[in-house]
Amino acid sequence: MTPHETQPDDDACYLALKARDARFDGCFFTAVTSTGIYCRPVCRVRTPKRENCRFFVHAAQAESAGFRPCLRCRPELAPRTPAASAGVDARAWSIQDASSILAGQAAHLLDTPDAWGEATPTVRQLAQRLGVSDRHLRRIFEAQFGVSPLQYLQTRRLLSAKQLLTDTTLAVTQVAHLSGFASVRRFNAAFTQHYALNPTQLRREGGSRAKGASDPGIHVRLAYRPPYDVDAMLQFLATRQIAGMEDVSLAPGDQSLRKTVAVQYAGKRHTGWLVARFDAAASRVDLRVSDSLRDVLPWVMSRMRALLDLDADPRAINSLLHAHFPLGDGLRVPGTLDGFELAVRAILGQQVTVAAARTLATRLVTRFGEALDTPFPGLNRLFPAAATLAGASGDALGQLGIVKQRQAAIQALASAVAQQRLPLHAGADVAATIAALKELPGVGDWTAQYIAMRALRWPDAFPAGDVALHKALGVQDSKSPAREAQAASHAWQPWRSYAVIRAWASLPVVSRNRQTTADAIK
């Protein structure tokens, strides 16, 4: 199956279903005509007969055909489908026609809470965002996905509600609100119509796990497709962790990340903490979020999926990159919970080692970060808000060891973000954001591409001026290493971000941890 296929290969799907192959989780769903239920390919129930199976690429297609989600394998936990998570600009999907690209962008925007803030998107708003008419958007979306944008969004909301009802003890009214429903009445009606049981019944049948959770906080599950190199992801984050706001554990049996969190939503800054613990045997992450973040739980879950790159489809990526990087099949592109934080850290990392950048970031958090109480010793600060750094004096930043050129870059970035002129999240327009970043003083192509790779979640970002990348590609002694790296990268489109991560991983640790760049200080 290709990333933009609407109709899956039924025979291939049935073989994956029989094998319960987790690599296909979320890439298709099996609907069983004899039961009226649709499942993930990893469902542990007895494999249905071939003649009773119908296969769909999207859960919305299965629900539109009248099937209900399985209460055992829980389709709402599946990683997002590649087409829905491929919200990249047209250059990254040059092999697809324009309609396929546009439909994929629309689905990505519907899947990304950050793209709309507190608003509930309409088809008209979605069409305006993409620069097309309502009618044209509906036509290409239905041709690509087999359902209308509203049906797609409705399924996303209902599955989100189903997960919150099953995994948490949140009140039904709050679940309705967090899932994007305008009223509890509409939520109850839609839920009952689609799933043949009301929200309270579902909670009685499937919500016992939430009530039995012993650790404080809200517990939810996030699945991913193997292979996933958990050690590599956590080692990348551990090398860059900031004291006071992050704590990475690589211990066997406790491969986890603890982190403080701040989410700006509805004019309010919500703060708290989270713990993400990998369960590699089950191909999932068990996420625990502080109660203080319950009003922004869907945003935290979405950003956590981005931070750990849980929606990547290794089959599609490896089919292109394995021959070039045979040891990197399980590597993912680390993201971020906060695009502004990542951008500041990228600026601090210009032309210095990772260790030096981490030292500067730790000083910045200690000096300007808000204090926060958490249950974890040593985890007690938040990353500074954009407004705080925008108002910081040059002298105060200079006392931390930040040179004047980077002071100007950080202050310009902070002002743009604080004034909401520069969105730095997965729902932002990639080309426009890269261009806006490069207009800031002290931000060149390397920094903009690095931010696009990790904060904007662009799978085809390529920091051609990266010195470590030159070494990994063996072009460091060339007269024009950036140009040679750029030329070599064409073979890796549209997955150049993953190629960069694999190239970096191929270097010895000492070389890998030099975050040098070719950015010119403006």
Active site residues: 39, 466
- Between 98-111 and 149-167, two packed helices, what is the crossing angle to 10 degrees? 30
Determine the 3-state secondary structure of 95 from DSSP. Answer: coil
Measured at the CA of 47, the angle between CA 310 and CA 40, to 5 degrees, comes to 20
Phi, psi of 327, deg, nearest 5: -95, 5
Handedness of CA 353, 358, 361, 367 (dihedral sign): negative
Q: Mark residue 16 as left, alpha or beta (left: phi above 0; alpha: psi -120 to 50; beta: remaining).
A: alpha
338: its two tokens: 């906060």
485, 449 Cβ separation under 8 angstroms:
no
Exposure string of 70-91, with b = 16+ CB inside 10 Å and e = fewer, is beebbbbbbbbbbbbbbbbbee
Task: Please provide the DSSP assignment of 371-432 as one string.
Answer: B---SSTT--B-PPPHHHHHT--HHHHHTTT--HHHHHHHHHHHHHHHTTSS--STTS-HHH
CB burial class (10 A; 0-12, 13-18, 19+) of residue 329?
A: middle
What's the Cα-to-Cα distance from 457 to each of 307, 429, 461, rounded to whole Å? 9, 11, 9
Phi, psi torsion values for 279, nearest 5 degrees: -120, 85
Question: Residue 371 corresponds to which tokens in the numbers above?
Answer: 């204090």
Q: How many CA atoms lie within 13 A of 197 on its CB side?
A: 14
CA distance linking residue 218 with residue 210, whole number of Å: 8
How far apart, in whole angstroms, are the C-alpha atoms of residue 283 and residue 214? Answer: 22
DSSP-assigned beta bridge partners for residue 249: 256
Cα–Cα distance, 52 to 145 (Å, whole number): 22
Element (DSSP H or E) covering residue 162: helix 149-167
Q: Which two three-digit tokens encode residue 331?
A: 């590597």
Tokens for 63? 């629900």
Q: What are the DSSP E strand ranges found in 426-497? A: none
Cα distance between residue 293 and residue 303, in whole Å:
13
